[in-house]
Amino acid sequence: MTTTTKTLVTGIQPTGRLHIGNYFGAFHQFVELQNTHESYFFIADLHAITSSEIQKDSQKFNEFINNIVLDSLALGVNPDKTCIYNQSEIPEISEIMWILSNFITVPTLSLGHAYKAAKSSKKELMFGLFAYPLLMASDILSVSADVVPVGKDQKQHLELTREIARKFNSNYKCDLLKIPGGHFCDMEEVVGTDGRKMSKSYKNTIPLFSGKENIKKSVMGIITDSKKEGEPLDPSTCTVFKYHTIFSKGALSDIEGRYKSGKINYKESKEILVDSIISYFAPFEEKRKEYENNSQLVSEILEKGTAQARGKIVEILNQIKKTVGIL
């Protein structure tokens, strides 16, 4: 790896099965960029504990973690090009978080979207959720990332990361912490089956690797208007059509024509979509089975990825400590 190679990092929370929002928000770009970057991909298990759902069932949480490793490998995160690791296996990330916590104010963290949402829904306000962006900053700054491929919902977290890095650098008059850039997908954000942002917490996802029946169930449940048989449908406002623009590219103009001329109903449009989604992800399903049947290989991948990433993170932690005056 030459010194001019840029560094890439992204993380996924194991809070349930992956969905197509995760795929287009993060994986799609990451898989391309890993070919030209020094790359780090991790399972954000420490972030996931901030979810009260995750706190209810530790065995299920553990299954989610294992599944996301397999899903990620199947979706093209390449262990020959990328360090793959569980965040909790590298304790130095949390140590860096503590030091960085002194370079962000409580009022700034109070502006975090997730914290504000929890506050307005009158949920119990836990410190972990409040500090979520700070841990994310540590994930990013601990590998000196140049680029972070994420969905647009993570924009605020990236801005906070930059703010922390700038404050640290300015306080110590150094440029130790690299200011990262974002890398967002072209889509504003992948919508869920109810038209809101696709999110596990809204239960409006189209899941990956959960079997054809679950894809069918989600797609058939997409909310549409109540136009009568034979009436023209409006593709510009239809959630089913939005998904066709991603998955049915070859047949898109035909489907659009049938929408406008009233020659398709929502049921048929959804059935076409189910087939398109299943064939889009079929090669990934095959690859996932291969990894599922080779748990030894998966353990080796994680061990190697953790060791390599940890080496770099320890080095950065030591530089941070030296800068602060601890070493």
CA dist., res. 272 & res. 222, Å (int): 13
Min dist CB 159 to ligand TYM, Å, is 13
* Cβ distance to ligand TYM smaller for residue 9 or 273: 9
Q: Which of 131, 162, 152, 157 is nearest to 50 (CA)?
A: 131
CA dist., res. 151 & res. 148, Å (int): 10
Q: Which of 82, 90, 205 is nearest to 138 (CA)?
A: 90
CA dist., res. 80 & res. 291, Å (int): 15
* Cβ distance to ligand TYM smaller for residue 46 or 233: 46
Build a one-symbol-per-residue string for 97-136: x at contacts with ligand TYM by CB under 6 A, - elsewhere. Answer: ---------------------------------------x
Min dist CB 226 to ligand TYM, Å, is 26
CA dist., res. 88 & res. 105, Å (int): 25
Build a one-symbol-per-residue string for 34-73: x at contacts with ligand TYM by CB under 6 A, - elsewhere. Answer: ----------x--x--------------------------
Of 8, 69, 129, 140, the one binding ligand TYM by CB under 6 A:
140
* Cβ distance to ligand TYM smaller for residue 50 or 269: 50
Of 93, 190, 302, 320, the one binding ligand TYM by CB under 6 A:
190
* Cβ distance to ligand TYM smaller for residue 28 or 270: 28
* Cβ distance to ligand TYM smaller for residue 12 or 317: 12
**Distance from chain centroid for Cα 46:** 14
* Cβ distance to ligand TYM smaller for residue 26 or 238: 26
CA dist., res. 38 & res. 132, Å (int): 25
Of 7, 8, 9, 72, the one binding ligand TYM by CB under 6 A:
9
Whether 119 contacts 74, CB under 8 Å = no
Adjacency order of strands within the sheet including 147-150: 82-86, 38-43, 7-12, 147-150, 181-184
CA dist., res. 324 & res. 296, Å (int): 41
Min dist CB 63 to ligand TYM, Å, is 16
* Cβ distance to ligand TYM smaller for residue 74 or 264: 74
Q: Which stretch binds ligand TYM (CB under 6 A): 99-107, 143-151, 170-178, 270-278?
A: 143-151
CA dist., res. 178 & res. 145, Å (int): 7
**Distance from chain centroid for Cα 272:** 27
CA dist., res. 33 & res. 152, Å (int): 17
CA dist., res. 173 & res. 242, Å (int): 49
Of 54, 77, 146, 151, the one binding ligand TYM by CB under 6 A:
151
Beta-bridge partner residues of 40: 9, 83
Build a one-symbol-per-residue string for 10-29: x at contacts with ligand TYM by CB under 6 A, - elsewhere. Answer: xxxx-------xx-xxx---
* Cβ distance to ligand TYM smaller for residue 33 or 148: 148
3-state helix, strand, coil in the chain (%, to 5): 60, 10, 30
Q: Which stretch binds ligand TYM (CB under 6 A): 88-96, 190-198, 288-296, 310-318?
A: 190-198
Which positions lie near ligand TYM, rule CB under 6 A? 9-13, 21-22, 24-26, 44, 47, 136, 139-140, 148, 150-151, 153-154, 157, 189-190, 197-199
